[in-house]
Chains A and B, each alone.
Chain A
Amino acid sequence: MSETTMNLTLRVWRQKNAQSAGTFVEYEAKNISVDMSFLEMLDVVNEELTARGEDPIAFDHDCREGICGMCSLTINGKAHGPLEATTTCQLHMRSFKNGDAITVEPWRAKPFPVIKDLVTDRSAFDRIIQVGGFVSVSTGGAPDGNALPIPKTDADAAMDAAQCIGCGACVAACKNASAMLFVAAKVGHLGLLPQGQTERDRRVLHMVAQMDEEGFGNCTNIGSCSAVCPKEIGQDFISRLNRDFLKASLRAK
């Protein structure tokens, strides 16, 4: 054992499929380099499991750059683990130390049922976007990109919200499994731009209705969602969503 490697004990949630009950299983992870990402550490464990003839641990991942939003682990009780503004795939083992015990679980939220081990079904997010998270312009016929100047501050604020990677950490971190931060990010992104104005009321009403239908809980303003958000999307967008929703509801009456 050198300073650059460590041995760890993992408690990993194993669940054969959506129907079966899951349980924690303990694994040893040996000679883990500090330069590995958390997922590369799991790769090592999986290689060993395979060599022993045991089913490797299933987890979601793709880009491993913190942008696709596919990776999704609750590590020691925290969505995406201990480091702020960091997805699981960008969390490196230098954040841990030799001898640590690490608990690894899937997102825990009713609207995100477990498919297998650490893999969950997050299609509810797609359905929320499908009812209104867009600007209804078909291809062709768009005016020149510079026809409509947009103040830099608005464009920047819209970008702050638009950065959402749809990972679902906000839901996993919320004791009510609320999807308010996710919805607020899209409503905020489009609502801050002139292009998003014509459908502003409709968008917020439809998205919130779908969010409720999917079984996401209410927001009680605790802020756990922003605290785990890898893109640091702020609570102010939730306040904005509430204002937009209220105004749209009044106007709809």
Chain B
Amino acid sequence: MVKKDLELLVSLQDIDLMIEEVGDVEKLGFSVTGYSELRKAREELAASISKPLLFRYERLRAKLKRAIVPVKNDICLGCFLRQPTAIGVKGREDEQIFTCENCGRMLYWLD
């Protein structure tokens, strides 16, 4: 099954979060022998995402650190602004990508 764009982006961000903290995790005593494999997995995943969407992700990430943020109880967990309920109904289907009107981050519904 082809994964939806939003899910691919979430997975990409999850890997990027991991890459960000590799050094910290290693200091705690975890073995990180597969850094280059993880980078490779990251590039393969990135290649499966449409170029404009990937570009949008990278630009948001450069500006705001987190390009996609969870939404819980209709609250954007990037800036804590309440999202309109109507958007949430569609947002939960993971088909369309919505952005927070306040902080501009892409939204991922958790509940």
Chain B binds chain A: no
